Chains A and B, each alone.
Chain A
Amino acid sequence: MFAPLIRWLDERIHLDDLIAPFKHKTVPRHRLSYWYFFGGITLFLFIIQVLTGILLLLYYRPGANEAFESVQYIMTRVQFGWLIRSIHAWSANLMIFTAFVHMFSVLFLKAYRKPRELTWVTGVILLVLVMGFGFSGYLLPWNTLAFFATKVGTEIAGQVPIIGKPMMIFLRGGEEVTGATLTRFFGFHVAVLPGLVVVLIAIHLFLVQRQGMSVPPKVEAEWAANPAARREMKFFPNFMLREMMAWYVAMGVLGALAAIFPWNLGVKADPFVSAPAGIKPEWYFLFMFQTLKMIPSKVWIVDGEVLGVLGCSLAGLLWLLLPFFESDKASRAKVWITGLSIFALVYVIGMSVYGYVAN
Protein backbone atom coordinates (compact mmCIF):
# COMPACT_ATOMS: atom_id res chain seq x y z
CA MET A 1 0.00 0.00 0.00
CA PHE A 2 2.77 2.44 0.98
CA ALA A 3 5.38 1.01 -1.38
CA PRO A 4 4.75 3.44 -4.30
CA LEU A 5 4.77 6.43 -1.94
CA ILE A 6 8.04 5.31 -0.33
CA ARG A 7 9.55 4.75 -3.78
CA TRP A 8 8.41 8.23 -4.85
CA LEU A 9 10.00 9.80 -1.76
CA ASP A 10 13.15 7.69 -2.06
CA GLU A 11 13.65 8.84 -5.63
CA ARG A 12 13.66 12.44 -4.45
CA ILE A 13 15.22 12.56 -1.01
CA HIS A 14 17.11 9.21 -0.86
CA LEU A 15 15.47 7.74 2.20
CA ASP A 16 17.99 4.90 2.22
CA ASP A 17 20.83 7.25 3.13
CA LEU A 18 18.77 8.63 5.99
CA ILE A 19 17.90 5.23 7.41
CA ALA A 20 21.35 3.71 6.78
CA PRO A 21 22.91 4.75 10.14
CA PHE A 22 20.01 3.15 11.99
CA LYS A 23 20.40 -0.07 10.03
CA HIS A 24 24.07 -0.39 10.99
CA LYS A 25 23.51 0.63 14.59
CA THR A 26 23.58 -2.21 17.09
CA VAL A 27 22.67 -2.45 20.74
CA PRO A 28 24.70 -4.59 23.15
CA ARG A 29 22.73 -7.51 24.45
CA HIS A 30 23.32 -8.71 28.01
CA ARG A 31 21.51 -9.37 31.28
CA LEU A 32 21.27 -5.66 32.10
CA SER A 33 19.92 -4.59 28.67
CA TYR A 34 16.47 -3.79 30.02
CA TRP A 35 17.81 -0.73 31.83
CA TYR A 36 18.33 0.80 28.38
CA PHE A 37 14.56 1.19 28.03
CA PHE A 38 13.99 3.83 30.70
CA GLY A 39 15.38 6.75 28.71
CA GLY A 40 13.07 5.81 25.84
CA ILE A 41 10.07 5.51 28.16
CA THR A 42 10.86 8.98 29.55
CA LEU A 43 10.91 10.30 25.97
CA PHE A 44 7.59 8.57 25.26
CA LEU A 45 5.99 10.17 28.33
CA PHE A 46 7.33 13.54 27.21
CA ILE A 47 5.62 13.07 23.84
CA ILE A 48 2.39 12.25 25.71
CA GLN A 49 2.89 15.49 27.69
CA VAL A 50 3.24 17.53 24.51
CA LEU A 51 0.13 16.00 22.92
CA THR A 52 -2.14 16.20 25.99
CA GLY A 53 -0.70 19.65 26.79
CA ILE A 54 -1.76 20.93 23.37
CA LEU A 55 -5.24 19.49 23.94
CA LEU A 56 -5.54 21.18 27.35
CA LEU A 57 -4.47 24.48 25.78
CA LEU A 58 -7.68 24.41 23.72
CA TYR A 59 -9.73 25.11 26.87
CA TYR A 60 -7.33 26.33 29.56
CA ARG A 61 -7.30 30.06 30.37
CA PRO A 62 -4.46 31.51 32.43
CA GLY A 63 -5.39 34.22 34.94
CA ALA A 64 -6.27 34.29 38.62
CA ASN A 65 -9.98 34.70 37.92
CA GLU A 66 -10.27 32.12 35.17
CA ALA A 67 -7.65 29.39 35.56
CA PHE A 68 -9.40 27.33 38.24
CA GLU A 69 -12.77 27.69 36.53
CA SER A 70 -11.38 26.68 33.15
CA VAL A 71 -9.79 23.52 34.59
CA GLN A 72 -13.08 22.80 36.34
CA TYR A 73 -14.81 23.28 32.99
CA ILE A 74 -12.36 20.88 31.32
CA MET A 75 -13.02 18.27 34.00
CA THR A 76 -16.80 18.57 34.18
CA ARG A 77 -18.11 19.85 30.87
CA VAL A 78 -15.66 18.89 28.11
CA GLN A 79 -16.07 15.28 27.00
CA PHE A 80 -13.16 13.15 28.21
CA GLY A 81 -11.64 16.34 29.64
CA TRP A 82 -11.13 14.64 33.02
CA LEU A 83 -9.23 11.86 31.24
CA ILE A 84 -6.97 14.15 29.22
CA ARG A 85 -6.08 16.21 32.31
CA SER A 86 -5.59 13.08 34.40
CA ILE A 87 -3.25 11.62 31.77
CA HIS A 88 -1.30 14.90 31.67
CA ALA A 89 -0.88 14.94 35.45
CA TRP A 90 -0.07 11.23 35.80
CA SER A 91 2.29 11.24 32.85
CA ALA A 92 4.14 14.19 34.38
CA ASN A 93 4.73 12.26 37.59
CA LEU A 94 5.66 9.04 35.81
CA MET A 95 8.03 10.97 33.54
CA ILE A 96 9.92 12.40 36.51
CA PHE A 97 9.99 8.94 38.07
CA THR A 98 11.36 7.24 34.92
CA ALA A 99 13.87 10.08 34.48
CA PHE A 100 15.18 9.36 38.00
CA VAL A 101 15.29 5.61 37.28
CA HIS A 102 17.13 6.32 34.01
CA MET A 103 19.62 8.56 35.81
CA PHE A 104 20.42 6.06 38.55
CA SER A 105 20.68 3.19 36.05
CA VAL A 106 23.17 5.24 34.02
CA LEU A 107 25.04 5.92 37.25
CA PHE A 108 25.24 2.31 38.44
CA LEU A 109 25.99 0.91 34.96
CA LYS A 110 28.70 3.58 34.68
CA ALA A 111 27.40 4.78 31.32
CA TYR A 112 28.42 8.37 32.11
CA ARG A 113 32.18 7.68 31.73
CA LYS A 114 34.35 9.00 28.94
CA PRO A 115 33.36 9.58 26.12
CA ARG A 116 29.78 10.13 27.33
CA GLU A 117 30.30 13.02 29.76
CA LEU A 118 28.22 15.41 27.65
CA THR A 119 25.33 12.97 27.49
CA TRP A 120 25.33 12.94 31.30
CA VAL A 121 25.54 16.73 31.51
CA THR A 122 22.63 17.25 29.08
CA GLY A 123 20.70 14.57 30.96
CA VAL A 124 21.12 16.29 34.33
CA ILE A 125 20.09 19.63 32.80
CA LEU A 126 17.05 17.88 31.30
CA LEU A 127 16.13 16.53 34.73
CA VAL A 128 16.28 20.04 36.19
CA LEU A 129 14.12 21.36 33.33
CA VAL A 130 11.62 18.54 33.77
CA MET A 131 11.35 19.41 37.46
CA GLY A 132 10.80 23.00 36.32
CA PHE A 133 7.95 21.71 34.19
CA GLY A 134 6.52 20.01 37.26
CA PHE A 135 6.88 23.10 39.42
CA SER A 136 5.39 25.52 36.88
CA GLY A 137 2.61 23.18 35.75
CA TYR A 138 1.56 22.51 39.33
CA LEU A 139 0.48 26.14 39.75
CA LEU A 140 -1.64 26.33 36.60
CA PRO A 141 -4.93 24.97 38.07
CA TRP A 142 -4.64 27.78 40.66
CA ASN A 143 -5.75 25.71 43.65
CA THR A 144 -4.78 26.17 47.30
CA LEU A 145 -2.05 23.51 47.36
CA ALA A 146 -0.46 24.89 44.19
CA PHE A 147 -0.63 28.43 45.52
CA PHE A 148 1.25 27.60 48.72
CA ALA A 149 3.68 25.24 46.98
CA THR A 150 4.61 28.11 44.66
CA LYS A 151 4.85 30.56 47.55
CA VAL A 152 7.24 28.27 49.44
CA GLY A 153 9.20 27.22 46.34
CA THR A 154 9.85 30.76 45.16
CA GLU A 155 10.61 31.82 48.75
CA ILE A 156 13.34 29.16 48.85
CA ALA A 157 14.78 30.56 45.61
CA GLY A 158 14.76 33.94 47.36
CA GLN A 159 17.10 32.61 50.09
CA VAL A 160 20.11 32.51 47.75
CA PRO A 161 22.48 35.32 48.80
CA ILE A 162 22.64 38.44 46.58
CA ILE A 163 20.81 37.09 43.48
CA GLY A 164 18.02 35.41 45.48
CA LYS A 165 15.68 38.35 45.92
CA PRO A 166 15.77 39.58 42.29
CA MET A 167 15.34 35.95 41.15
CA MET A 168 12.27 35.55 43.37
CA ILE A 169 10.73 38.77 42.04
CA PHE A 170 11.46 37.62 38.49
CA LEU A 171 9.78 34.26 39.12
CA ARG A 172 6.76 35.78 40.88
CA GLY A 173 6.35 38.73 38.58
CA GLY A 174 6.26 40.93 41.72
CA GLU A 175 6.75 40.73 45.47
CA GLU A 176 3.92 38.24 46.04
CA VAL A 177 2.44 35.19 44.33
CA THR A 178 -0.45 36.65 42.34
CA GLY A 179 -2.14 36.34 38.96
CA ALA A 180 1.07 37.81 37.52
CA THR A 181 2.93 34.71 38.76
CA LEU A 182 0.36 32.50 37.06
CA THR A 183 0.86 34.33 33.76
CA ARG A 184 4.64 33.87 34.00
CA PHE A 185 4.48 30.23 34.99
CA PHE A 186 2.09 29.60 32.12
CA GLY A 187 4.60 31.18 29.73
CA PHE A 188 7.49 29.12 31.17
CA HIS A 189 5.39 25.96 31.06
CA VAL A 190 4.08 26.17 27.49
CA ALA A 191 6.80 28.15 25.68
CA VAL A 192 10.17 28.56 27.39
CA LEU A 193 10.64 25.09 28.89
CA PRO A 194 9.34 23.10 25.88
CA GLY A 195 11.73 24.99 23.60
CA LEU A 196 14.76 24.35 25.84
CA VAL A 197 13.81 20.73 26.47
CA VAL A 198 13.35 19.93 22.78
CA VAL A 199 16.79 21.33 21.94
CA LEU A 200 18.44 19.42 24.80
CA ILE A 201 16.63 16.18 23.93
CA ALA A 202 17.89 16.57 20.35
CA ILE A 203 21.49 16.93 21.61
CA HIS A 204 21.05 14.11 24.12
CA LEU A 205 19.68 11.73 21.46
CA PHE A 206 22.26 12.79 18.89
CA LEU A 207 25.02 11.90 21.37
CA VAL A 208 23.40 8.54 22.14
CA GLN A 209 23.09 7.77 18.42
CA ARG A 210 26.61 8.96 17.70
CA GLN A 211 28.34 7.07 20.51
CA GLY A 212 26.12 4.03 20.78
CA MET A 213 25.04 2.33 23.98
CA SER A 214 27.53 1.97 26.79
CA VAL A 215 28.34 -1.54 28.01
CA PRO A 216 28.63 -1.84 31.81
CA PRO A 217 32.28 -2.44 32.90
CA LYS A 218 31.40 -5.78 34.50
CA VAL A 219 29.85 -7.11 31.29
CA GLU A 220 32.71 -5.61 29.29
CA ALA A 221 35.21 -7.53 31.45
CA GLU A 222 33.28 -10.77 30.97
CA TRP A 223 33.24 -10.22 27.23
CA ALA A 224 36.94 -9.45 27.19
CA ALA A 225 37.63 -12.71 28.99
CA ASN A 226 35.31 -14.67 26.73
CA PRO A 227 34.86 -12.96 23.33
CA ALA A 228 32.38 -15.64 22.21
CA ALA A 229 29.90 -14.36 24.79
CA ARG A 230 29.70 -10.93 23.15
CA ARG A 231 26.21 -10.42 21.74
CA GLU A 232 24.47 -7.61 19.97
CA MET A 233 21.15 -6.92 18.36
CA LYS A 234 20.25 -4.60 15.53
CA PHE A 235 18.82 -1.28 16.63
CA PHE A 236 16.33 -1.44 13.77
CA PRO A 237 14.09 -3.36 13.89
CA ASN A 238 15.04 -5.61 16.86
CA PHE A 239 15.68 -3.04 19.59
CA MET A 240 13.12 -0.65 18.15
CA LEU A 241 10.32 -3.24 18.44
CA ARG A 242 11.33 -4.07 22.01
CA GLU A 243 11.30 -0.36 22.82
CA MET A 244 7.82 -0.06 21.25
CA MET A 245 6.66 -2.87 23.52
CA ALA A 246 8.08 -1.00 26.52
CA TRP A 247 6.20 2.13 25.38
CA TYR A 248 3.04 0.11 25.05
CA VAL A 249 3.38 -1.18 28.60
CA ALA A 250 4.05 2.38 29.81
CA MET A 251 0.91 3.48 27.97
CA GLY A 252 -1.08 0.73 29.68
CA VAL A 253 0.16 1.70 33.14
CA LEU A 254 -0.48 5.39 32.41
CA GLY A 255 -4.00 4.79 31.05
CA ALA A 256 -4.93 2.59 34.00
CA LEU A 257 -3.63 5.07 36.60
CA ALA A 258 -5.29 8.03 34.87
CA ALA A 259 -8.66 6.28 34.56
CA ILE A 260 -8.76 4.58 37.98
CA PHE A 261 -7.27 7.45 39.99
CA PRO A 262 -8.37 10.68 38.26
CA TRP A 263 -6.29 13.67 39.34
CA ASN A 264 -7.96 15.97 41.88
CA LEU A 265 -8.60 19.62 41.29
CA GLY A 266 -8.78 20.75 44.92
CA VAL A 267 -10.08 24.09 46.16
CA LYS A 268 -9.58 27.40 44.40
CA ALA A 269 -6.62 29.39 45.68
CA ASP A 270 -7.37 32.27 48.03
CA PRO A 271 -4.36 34.42 48.95
CA PHE A 272 -6.07 35.48 52.17
CA VAL A 273 -6.65 32.14 53.86
CA SER A 274 -4.18 30.20 56.01
CA ALA A 275 -2.16 27.36 54.55
CA PRO A 276 -3.89 24.02 55.20
CA ALA A 277 -2.32 21.70 57.79
CA GLY A 278 0.10 19.03 56.56
CA ILE A 279 0.83 20.82 53.29
CA LYS A 280 3.69 19.24 51.34
CA PRO A 281 5.34 19.71 47.97
CA GLU A 282 5.07 17.13 45.18
CA TRP A 283 6.91 13.89 45.96
CA TYR A 284 9.88 14.72 43.70
CA PHE A 285 10.71 17.80 45.75
CA LEU A 286 10.20 16.05 49.09
CA PHE A 287 13.82 15.02 49.65
CA MET A 288 15.00 18.61 49.26
CA PHE A 289 12.06 19.94 51.30
CA GLN A 290 12.82 17.52 54.13
CA THR A 291 16.53 18.40 54.05
CA LEU A 292 15.70 22.09 54.42
CA LYS A 293 13.29 21.32 57.24
CA MET A 294 15.92 19.41 59.22
CA ILE A 295 18.61 22.08 59.12
CA PRO A 296 18.47 24.17 62.31
CA SER A 297 17.38 27.77 61.85
CA LYS A 298 20.84 29.07 62.75
CA VAL A 299 24.12 27.27 62.10
CA TRP A 300 26.94 29.28 63.71
CA ILE A 301 26.27 32.72 62.16
CA VAL A 302 24.63 31.52 58.93
CA ASP A 303 20.87 31.21 58.44
CA GLY A 304 19.76 27.60 58.17
CA GLU A 305 17.79 28.17 54.96
CA VAL A 306 20.69 29.91 53.25
CA LEU A 307 22.99 27.03 54.22
CA GLY A 308 20.47 24.48 52.92
CA VAL A 309 19.93 26.24 49.62
CA LEU A 310 23.65 26.72 49.06
CA GLY A 311 24.34 23.10 50.05
CA CYS A 312 21.69 21.80 47.63
CA SER A 313 23.00 24.00 44.82
CA LEU A 314 26.57 22.81 45.43
CA ALA A 315 25.42 19.18 45.48
CA GLY A 316 23.55 19.77 42.21
CA LEU A 317 26.63 21.30 40.61
CA LEU A 318 28.85 18.39 41.69
CA TRP A 319 26.21 15.99 40.40
CA LEU A 320 26.24 17.75 37.02
CA LEU A 321 30.05 17.46 36.81
CA LEU A 322 30.22 13.92 38.19
CA PRO A 323 31.76 12.25 35.07
CA PHE A 324 34.75 14.58 35.21
CA PHE A 325 35.82 13.18 38.58
CA GLU A 326 36.23 9.71 37.14
CA SER A 327 39.45 8.81 35.36
CA ASP A 328 40.12 6.03 32.85
CA LYS A 329 42.50 4.22 35.12
CA ALA A 330 41.43 2.07 37.99
CA SER A 331 41.67 4.38 40.94
CA ARG A 332 40.13 5.21 44.25
CA ALA A 333 37.85 7.76 42.51
CA LYS A 334 35.82 4.91 40.98
CA VAL A 335 35.08 3.36 44.33
CA TRP A 336 34.38 6.79 45.70
CA ILE A 337 31.82 7.54 42.94
CA THR A 338 30.08 4.20 43.38
CA GLY A 339 29.85 4.87 47.10
CA LEU A 340 28.49 8.34 46.43
CA SER A 341 25.89 6.97 44.00
CA ILE A 342 24.61 4.47 46.54
CA PHE A 343 24.57 7.18 49.20
CA ALA A 344 22.63 9.53 46.85
CA LEU A 345 20.03 6.86 46.03
CA VAL A 346 19.56 5.91 49.68
CA TYR A 347 19.45 9.59 50.69
CA VAL A 348 16.85 10.56 48.05
CA ILE A 349 14.59 7.58 48.78
CA GLY A 350 15.08 7.82 52.56
CA MET A 351 14.40 11.55 52.75
CA SER A 352 11.40 11.27 50.43
CA VAL A 353 9.84 8.54 52.57
CA TYR A 354 10.69 10.45 55.75
CA GLY A 355 9.22 13.62 54.28
CA TYR A 356 6.09 11.72 53.30
CA VAL A 357 5.59 10.15 56.72
CA ALA A 358 6.69 13.09 58.90
CA ASN A 359 4.26 15.80 59.93
Chain B
Amino acid sequence: MCADQAPQPDTSRRRAIELFLGGGILASLASFIYPVLRFLVPPAVVDLGGDEVVASKLGEMKPNSGKIFRFGSRPGLLILNSDGTYRALSATCTHLGCTVQYRPDLREIWCACHNGTYDLNGRNVSGPPPRPLTVFDVHQRGDEIVVSRKREA
Protein backbone atom coordinates (compact mmCIF):
# COMPACT_ATOMS: atom_id res chain seq x y z
CA MET B 1 0.00 0.00 0.00
CA CYS B 2 1.42 3.33 -1.05
CA ALA B 3 1.77 6.07 1.56
CA ASP B 4 0.16 8.79 -0.59
CA GLN B 5 -2.86 6.61 -1.32
CA ALA B 6 -3.70 6.11 2.34
CA PRO B 7 -5.89 9.22 2.87
CA GLN B 8 -7.99 8.37 -0.20
CA PRO B 9 -10.65 6.12 1.41
CA ASP B 10 -10.87 8.48 4.39
CA THR B 11 -11.90 11.51 2.35
CA SER B 12 -14.41 9.56 0.27
CA ARG B 13 -16.09 8.29 3.43
CA ARG B 14 -16.18 11.80 4.77
CA ARG B 15 -17.71 13.00 1.51
CA ALA B 16 -20.34 10.28 1.61
CA ILE B 17 -21.30 11.23 5.16
CA GLU B 18 -21.42 14.90 4.21
CA LEU B 19 -23.63 14.03 1.26
CA PHE B 20 -26.08 12.02 3.39
CA LEU B 21 -26.13 14.59 6.16
CA GLY B 22 -26.44 17.57 3.83
CA GLY B 23 -29.01 15.82 1.66
CA GLY B 24 -30.99 14.80 4.73
CA ILE B 25 -30.99 18.33 6.12
CA LEU B 26 -31.97 19.78 2.73
CA ALA B 27 -34.79 17.24 2.38
CA SER B 28 -36.06 18.11 5.88
CA LEU B 29 -35.92 21.82 5.12
CA ALA B 30 -37.83 21.28 1.89
CA SER B 31 -40.49 19.32 3.79
CA PHE B 32 -40.85 22.21 6.26
CA ILE B 33 -40.86 24.98 3.71
CA TYR B 34 -43.23 23.41 1.18
CA PRO B 35 -46.30 23.25 3.49
CA VAL B 36 -45.54 26.76 4.74
CA LEU B 37 -45.45 28.16 1.21
CA ARG B 38 -48.72 26.42 0.37
CA PHE B 39 -50.22 27.73 3.63
CA LEU B 40 -49.30 31.29 2.68
CA VAL B 41 -51.38 31.16 -0.52
CA PRO B 42 -54.95 32.14 0.41
CA PRO B 43 -57.63 29.73 -0.85
CA ALA B 44 -59.56 31.03 -3.85
CA VAL B 45 -62.77 32.80 -2.85
CA VAL B 46 -65.78 31.15 -4.41
CA ASP B 47 -67.67 33.76 -6.44
CA LEU B 48 -71.27 32.93 -5.58
CA GLY B 49 -72.53 36.07 -7.28
CA GLY B 50 -73.24 34.27 -10.50
CA ASP B 51 -74.00 36.16 -13.68
CA GLU B 52 -77.13 37.92 -12.56
CA VAL B 53 -78.12 40.11 -9.63
CA VAL B 54 -81.09 42.22 -8.57
CA ALA B 55 -79.56 45.71 -8.47
CA SER B 56 -82.59 47.78 -7.54
CA LYS B 57 -86.37 47.92 -7.25
CA LEU B 58 -88.58 49.88 -9.60
CA GLY B 59 -89.19 53.36 -8.14
CA GLU B 60 -86.31 53.07 -5.68
CA MET B 61 -84.05 55.47 -7.57
CA LYS B 62 -84.65 59.08 -8.56
CA PRO B 63 -84.16 59.99 -12.24
CA ASN B 64 -80.66 61.28 -13.05
CA SER B 65 -78.97 59.37 -10.21
CA GLY B 66 -76.60 56.46 -9.67
CA LYS B 67 -76.40 53.57 -7.22
CA ILE B 68 -73.61 51.18 -6.31
CA PHE B 69 -74.73 47.55 -6.13
CA ARG B 70 -72.96 44.29 -5.36
CA PHE B 71 -72.12 42.20 -8.38
CA GLY B 72 -70.42 39.03 -7.15
CA SER B 73 -67.50 40.24 -5.08
CA ARG B 74 -67.13 43.54 -6.98
CA PRO B 75 -69.17 46.74 -7.06
CA GLY B 76 -71.36 47.70 -10.02
CA LEU B 77 -72.90 51.08 -10.88
CA LEU B 78 -76.56 51.36 -11.86
CA ILE B 79 -77.64 54.66 -13.42
CA LEU B 80 -81.22 55.86 -13.93
CA ASN B 81 -81.19 58.45 -16.70
CA SER B 82 -83.57 61.41 -16.83
CA ASP B 83 -85.48 59.70 -19.66
CA GLY B 84 -86.21 56.72 -17.40
CA THR B 85 -83.76 54.26 -19.00
CA TYR B 86 -81.37 52.21 -16.88
CA ARG B 87 -77.70 51.58 -17.52
CA ALA B 88 -75.34 49.31 -15.60
CA LEU B 89 -71.55 49.21 -15.65
CA SER B 90 -68.68 47.86 -13.66
CA ALA B 91 -67.89 50.40 -10.92
CA THR B 92 -64.21 49.49 -10.74
CA CYS B 93 -62.09 52.22 -12.34
CA THR B 94 -59.76 50.77 -14.96
CA HIS B 95 -56.95 53.04 -13.75
CA LEU B 96 -56.13 51.88 -10.19
CA GLY B 97 -59.29 50.14 -9.08
CA CYS B 98 -61.15 52.83 -7.11
CA THR B 99 -64.95 52.72 -7.11
CA VAL B 100 -66.41 55.28 -9.53
CA GLN B 101 -69.59 57.35 -9.04
CA TYR B 102 -72.28 58.97 -11.17
CA ARG B 103 -72.09 62.76 -11.38
CA PRO B 104 -75.66 64.09 -11.95
CA ASP B 105 -74.29 67.61 -12.58
CA LEU B 106 -72.02 66.47 -15.43
CA ARG B 107 -74.07 63.42 -16.51
CA GLU B 108 -70.81 61.53 -16.47
CA ILE B 109 -69.15 58.77 -14.53
CA TRP B 110 -66.35 60.16 -12.40
CA CYS B 111 -63.57 58.60 -10.37
CA ALA B 112 -62.66 60.68 -7.33
CA CYS B 113 -59.23 59.14 -6.82
CA HIS B 114 -57.45 60.58 -9.85
CA ASN B 115 -60.12 62.61 -11.57
CA GLY B 116 -60.85 60.17 -14.40
CA THR B 117 -64.13 60.46 -16.30
CA TYR B 118 -66.16 58.08 -18.42
CA ASP B 119 -69.25 58.78 -20.53
CA LEU B 120 -72.50 56.91 -19.95
CA ASN B 121 -71.41 54.19 -22.39
CA GLY B 122 -68.40 53.53 -20.15
CA ARG B 123 -65.87 55.04 -22.58
CA ASN B 124 -62.91 56.66 -20.85
CA VAL B 125 -63.10 60.30 -21.95
CA SER B 126 -60.59 62.15 -19.80
CA GLY B 127 -58.03 61.65 -17.07
CA PRO B 128 -55.83 58.62 -16.49
CA PRO B 129 -58.19 55.62 -17.09
CA PRO B 130 -56.67 53.46 -19.85
CA ARG B 131 -59.71 51.37 -20.80
CA PRO B 132 -63.50 51.72 -20.85
CA LEU B 133 -65.69 50.30 -18.06
CA THR B 134 -67.42 46.98 -18.70
CA VAL B 135 -71.07 47.53 -19.58
CA PHE B 136 -73.69 45.10 -18.23
CA ASP B 137 -77.17 44.23 -19.52
CA VAL B 138 -80.18 45.60 -17.63
CA HIS B 139 -83.63 43.95 -17.70
CA GLN B 140 -86.80 44.62 -15.87
CA ARG B 141 -88.44 41.56 -14.26
CA GLY B 142 -91.62 42.46 -12.42
CA ASP B 143 -90.61 45.37 -10.25
CA GLU B 144 -86.98 44.25 -10.04
CA ILE B 145 -84.15 45.76 -12.02
CA VAL B 146 -81.92 42.81 -12.96
CA VAL B 147 -78.32 43.28 -14.08
CA SER B 148 -76.48 40.52 -15.93
CA ARG B 149 -73.19 40.06 -17.73
CA LYS B 150 -73.41 40.70 -21.46
CA ARG B 151 -73.60 37.41 -23.32
CA GLU B 152 -70.70 36.89 -25.68
CA ALA B 153 -72.02 37.03 -29.25
Contacts and interface: CB of A to CB of B under 8 A. Distances in A.
A78 B41 CA distance: 8
B142 interface: no
Interface string B35-58: 110111111000000000000000
A264 interface: no
A77 interface: yes
Contacts of B43: 77-79
Contacts of A81: 39
A223 interface: no
Q: Point out which of A59, A80, A248 has the most chain B C-beta atoms below 10 A from its C-beta.
A: A80
A79 B36 contact: no
A84 B40 contact: no
A55 interface: yes
Contacts of A248: 28
A146 interface: no
A58 B42 CA distance: 9
Interface band, chain A? 10 to 19
Contacts of A251: 28
Contacts of A83: 35
Contacts, number: 26
A79 B35 CA distance: 8
Interface string A63-86: 000000000000001111101100
Contacts of A55: 36, 39-40
A167 B35 CA distance: 41
A84 B38 CA distance: 11
Interface residues of B, number: 9
A58 B38 CA distance: 13
A55 B38 CA distance: 11
Contacts of B28: 248, 251
Contacts of A80: 35-36, 38-39
Nearest to A80: B35
Interface in B5-49: 28, 35-36, 38-43
A55 B33 CA distance: 12
B20 to A, nearest CB: 14
A30 B43 CA distance: 53
A136 to B, nearest CB: 23
Nearest to B35: A80
Nearest to B34: A80
Contacts of B38: 79-80
Nearest to A58: B40
Nearest to A81: B39
Given A77-B43, A78-B42, A83-B35, 17 more contacts: A55-B39, A55-B40, A58-B39, A58-B40, A78-B43, A79-B35, A79-B39, A79-B41, A79-B43, A80-B35, A80-B36, A80-B39, A81-B39, A84-B36, A84-B39, A248-B28, A251-B28
**Chain A to chain B: the 10 pairs with minimum beta-carbon distance, closest first:** A80-B35, A79-B38, A77-B43, A80-B39, A80-B38, A84-B39, A83-B35, A78-B43, A55-B39, A79-B39
25 contacts: A55-B36, A55-B39, A55-B40, A58-B39, A58-B40, A59-B42, A77-B43, A78-B39, A78-B42, A78-B43, A79-B38, A79-B39, A79-B41, A79-B43, A80-B35, A80-B36, A80-B38, A80-B39, A81-B39, A83-B35, A84-B35, A84-B36, A84-B39, A248-B28, A251-B28
